[in-house]
Chain A
Amino acid sequence: MNKDLNAPILSAERAAMWFPVRGGLGKTTGYVKAVDGVSVQLHARQTYGLVGESGCGKSTLGRLLCRLLEPTDGRITLFGQDISHLKERELVPFRSRIQMVFQDPYTSLNPRIRIGDALMEVLAIHHTGSRSEQMEKALGILDQVGLRQEHFYRFPHEFSGGQRQRIGLARALILNPEIVLCDEPVSALDVSIQSQIINLLCDLQAERSLTYLFISHDMSVIRYISDRVGVMYLGHLVEESDTEEIFSHPAHPYTRMLLSAVPSIVPGDKTDRIRLQGDPPSPLDPPKGCVFHTRCPYAKKECGEKSPELSELAQGHYCACPIAAAGN
């Protein structure tokens, strides 16, 4: 379908999602600009890692990309087709090719539906095969995510957190999607279980040539799993680059601070931390100009006036900071 091999299979162009805030009498009093003019591109078989603190809009961007939300502005392109404003019905054929895994495996499964039925329901919605074929497929996918066939008849409460996340993954993969959006899939898990799920994700990607959008707040997990990384702050993409490049040469002051705030497992390390003062501002009333300038130690006067554009620092390394671009 894609003639151009370098064309992204999923992309957002200046996508924006503004949620209206309603005051008394249902009047719109303002907007939460959860995502404000973000462009990203996902290439086939790659993992794009989206990282940022809570409230930065990374999950909203994920939901925009798979059109669980309709963008206020901008364009979402999936397999070369503009899907920004398609209706629910028109989206159905796309849904089987792009699936999602959520953070909380405790609330994303219906407690009253057996695992097997939850898996077969997906197939029934997309009218794939007879009932016995569906069952066969469901049993097959359980095996692939490291569960056993007898788990087919069990209820969600009988599983541990790690197993539930495997079920979430099975449900996403049963339709043979090409793209899987993983929204904090390992954040609720203990470290020993987290590594099992990350390894499983990597194995499945290799076996099925999957493309991942991996959303996380954990820099070490992002570094491990991603090919390309985007850093978000208050609805804006502030830096984007290949994984190695961004972790060895972080350019944006926010990325640098985020990296230096991550505690290291080596005792006595990180004594020269750069400290980030204060809290992120409210997305209801974001600062004018560069959204980060209120907390940025390098901020100059003009940072509060003009919103910076992404500029290319090195091959494929984009950063939205004029001061970093000038080489400081």
Chain B
Amino acid sequence: MDEYVLRVENLVTEFKTDRGPLKAIDGVTLQVKRGEMLGLVGESGCGKSVTSMSVMRLYDEKTTVRYEGSVWLGDTDLMSIPYKKMQDIRGREIAMIFQDALSSLNPVLRVSDQIMEPLITHQHLKREDAYRKAVEMLRLVGIPSPETRVDQYPHELSGGMRQRVMIAIALCCRPRLLIADEPTTALDVTIQAQILDLILDLNRQMHMGVILITHDLAVVAQVCQRVAVMYLGQIVEEAEVAELFNHPLHPYTQGLMDSIPKLDGDSRHRLHMIRGTVPLLNQIPRGCRFAPRCPYADAACSAAMPELTQAGGHLVRCRKAGFTDKKVTPDE
């Protein structure tokens, strides 16, 4: 089981802007095993989507972005192969699904053409074979009457079905790794539950690694085995799901979990608030990036950036992680 599908080591993604470079991701290290589902959570602007886009090398490297570090897919470092070679990797080895299925599907192509495209480019199937495979894929992702649906256009499908089509396209070449970037955010809860079940099911059947990117902690708690929490371009905590949700060590993780209203909790007490807002990328605080919003921070926290260190089965980036486990009432 210790076979890693993907190892990201010290990944840095820096955007070139008119006002100088902006580091959207600063030293992200991640591993995904075969058959494992890793959750990547954080609030908007924390760099979770940039991480996935960088793994796929989807940014324009000539004009907008500079990478550092390495992304190992098996024995290949994706960061050092020629850019053109990435086209063989995308869709075949690593596939991706996005939040908004309507804008990721081509509105003027039939569903069949869009599923057949990767099959023809990567697996060199004949059109008839690819078409048959497309119907089969639609059946696999649970679309009723796939024989008729396959000839329809994206606008004729509902939101949930579009997301199923996206999954069918992503999985038709049996990739080793699936990156799902907020796959259920635009969907209603009942449809969200269906799509999550489907991803979980296919992950077990095909034994691929999955990175599930979301802002919804509860989604991660339900389907992932491991979870990494990001804040301002860095991973601040990583652990097994049960471990992280039962004993969050980083003050940011704790704050996030306390600020969610619970379905079975006491609704008469005030919700916990993390003070302040996420700083802009060009105003990253010195030292620990969470220090200005942290209820436990002291002068030493702002002096030096804490490293991601092993603590009680977690990887955590906080010099006080040991102390903050005990629930101290933070000052507002």
Interface string of A259-285 (1 = CB under 8 A from B): 101111111111001011111100000
B190–A263 CB distance below 8 A: no
- Which residues of the other chain, B, contact A267 by a CB distance below 8 angstroms? 221-222, 241-242, 245-246
B219–A224 CB distance below 8 A: no
Q: How far is the CB of A328 from chain B (nearest CB, A)?
A: 21
The yes or no answer to A221 lying at the interface (CB within 8 A) is: yes
Interface string of A210-239 (1 = CB under 8 A from B): 000000010111011100000000000000
Q: How far is the CB of A250 from chain B (nearest CB, A)?
A: 11
B259–A194 CB distance below 8 A: yes
A263–B259 CB distance below 8 A: no
The yes or no answer to B189 lying at the interface (CB within 8 A) is: yes
A196–B273 CB distance below 8 A: yes
In the complex formed, the residue of A with least CB distance to B274 is A192
The yes or no answer to A5 lying at the interface (CB within 8 A) is: no
Q: How far is the CB of B189 from chain A (nearest CB, A)?
A: 4
The yes or no answer to B48 lying at the interface (CB within 8 A) is: no
In the complex formed, the residue of B with least CB distance to A282 is B158
The yes or no answer to B11 lying at the interface (CB within 8 A) is: no
Contact of A264 among B215, B218, B274 (CB under 8 A): B218
The yes or no answer to A176 lying at the interface (CB within 8 A) is: no
Interface string of B203-235 (1 = CB under 8 A from A): 000000000000111110110000000000000
A191–B263 CB distance below 8 A: no
Interface string of B25-65 (1 = CB under 8 A from A): 00000000000000000011000000000000000000000
The yes or no answer to A54 lying at the interface (CB within 8 A) is: yes
* Max chain A Cβ within 10 angstroms of own Cβ: one of B158, B192, B261, B267: B261
Contact of A276 among B190, B261, B262, B264 (CB under 8 A): B190
How many cross-chain pairs have Cβ atoms below 8 Å apart between A and B? 116
The yes or no answer to B133 lying at the interface (CB within 8 A) is: no
B263–A264 CB distance below 8 A: yes
Q: How far is the CB of B195 from chain A (nearest CB, A)?
A: 11
The yes or no answer to B271 lying at the interface (CB within 8 A) is: yes
- Which residues of the other chain, B, contact A265 by a CB distance below 8 angstroms? 217-218, 221, 245, 257, 260, 262
* A190-B215, A243-B267, A262-B263 known; A195-B193 Cβ under 8 A: no
Contact of B260 among A220, A273, A277 (CB under 8 A): A220
- Which residues of the other chain, B, contact A257 by a CB distance below 8 angstroms? 190
* A162-B277, A192-B255, A264-B221 known; A221-B261 Cβ under 8 A: yes
A217–B188 CB distance below 8 A: yes
* Max chain B Cβ within 10 angstroms of own Cβ: one of A192, A198, A247: A192
The yes or no answer to A113 lying at the interface (CB within 8 A) is: no
In the complex formed, the residue of B with least CB distance to A254 is B190
B267–A223 CB distance below 8 A: yes
In the complex formed, the residue of B with least CB distance to A203 is B270
In the complex formed, the residue of A with least CB distance to B46 is A190
* A267-B222, A268-B242 known; A261-B190 Cβ under 8 A: yes
The yes or no answer to A202 lying at the interface (CB within 8 A) is: yes
* A192-B43, A267-B242, A275-B194 known; A220-B256 Cβ under 8 A: no
Contact of A202 among B190, B270, B277 (CB under 8 A): B270
- Which residues of the other chain, B, contact A270 by a CB distance below 8 angstroms? 222
A191–B215 CB distance below 8 A: yes
- Which residues of the other chain, B, contact A279 by a CB distance below 8 angstroms? 158-161, 191
A276–B271 CB distance below 8 A: no
Bound together, the chains give a CA A276 to CA B273 distance in angstroms of: 34
A53–B273 CB distance below 8 A: no
Bound together, the chains give a CA A194 to CA B260 distance in angstroms of: 8
B259–A191 CB distance below 8 A: yes
The yes or no answer to B272 lying at the interface (CB within 8 A) is: yes
* Max chain B Cβ within 10 angstroms of own Cβ: one of A217, A224, A265: A265
Bound together, the chains give a CA A223 to CA B267 distance in angstroms of: 7
The yes or no answer to B196 lying at the interface (CB within 8 A) is: yes
Contact of B272 among A195, A225, A258 (CB under 8 A): A195
A190-B278, A198-B261, A217-B189 known; 19 new pairs, CB 8 Å cut-off, are A53-B190, A162-B277, A191-B43, A191-B256, A191-B260, A192-B259, A195-B274, A261-B189, A261-B193, A262-B189, A264-B221, A265-B257, A266-B221, A268-B242, A269-B222, A275-B197, A276-B190, A278-B144, A280-B188
A selection of 29 A-B contacts at a CB cut-off of 8 Å is A54-B188, A160-B277, A190-B43, A191-B215, A191-B217, A191-B256, A191-B260, A192-B43, A192-B259, A192-B273, A195-B261, A217-B188, A219-B189, A224-B261, A224-B271, A258-B189, A258-B190, A261-B192, A262-B218, A263-B222, A267-B222, A267-B241, A267-B242, A267-B246, A270-B222, A275-B193, A275-B197, A278-B144, A279-B160
| 7 tightest Cβ-Cβ pairs between the two chains A and B | A224-B261, A195-B259, A263-B218, A53-B188, A190-B43, A195-B271, A192-B274
Chain A residues at the B interface, C-beta cutoff of 8 Å: 53-54, 160, 162-163, 190-196, 198-199, 202, 217, 219-221, 223-225, 243, 247, 257-259, 261-270, 273, 275-280
